[in-house]
Amino acid sequence: MKIAFIGLGAMGRAMATNLVRNGHDVSAWTRSGRTLAGVTTLEIPDKAFEGDVVLTILSDDTAVRSVIVDPDLLSRAKSGVIHVMMSTISVAFSRELTALHNQAGVAFVASPVLGRPDVAADGALQILTGGDPTHLARLVPVFEVLSKRIWPMGDKPWGAHAAKIACNMMITMAIEAMA
């Protein structure tokens, strides 16, 4: 599968490395200009939308908006590409992205992850998924490389983002309780 990353932070690097190791054709664009062995560097983020799958893993709503929405990358996306939002973003922004993808005719699914970079390096993430079941089924070979378990959260992308925020809240509350 031809997979592109937008974002090569600690999590993205670990995931991209696993996909390369498992025979996928991986390319990436990153704001920092980082490169990674076995991953083709993309000069502009538009190029990420020319493959089969785009995995976006940026830090937050603002980063995603500045890279994907503001420059209107969706209007230049290849027909048939699936955009997978692995970033932890707000439910409101996930709903907005769903509408923008629908308007542009681009498949959009949410797949935020639970785990740290070391867990990602081991291919043992927990992936929360939300979106059209047909698109999610096409992504199973990708998710199987990256995760220990896939958690379906329904056919609306924002359901997966809501679940991720709830998981983060529970972790925070547990830490606070222990303190």
* Tokens coding 139: 């992504």
Could you tell me where the beta strands, DSSP code E, fall in the chain? 2-6, 25-29, 40-41, 53-56, 82-85, 107-110, 113-114, 125-129, 147-152
Q: Is-catalytic flag, 47?
A: no
Q: What is the CA radius of gyration of the chain?
A: 15
Nearest by Cα to 50 from 9, 78, 21: 78
Instruction: Kindly name the residue from 2, 47, 156, 164 that is annotated as catalytic.
Output: 164
Catalytic residues: 164
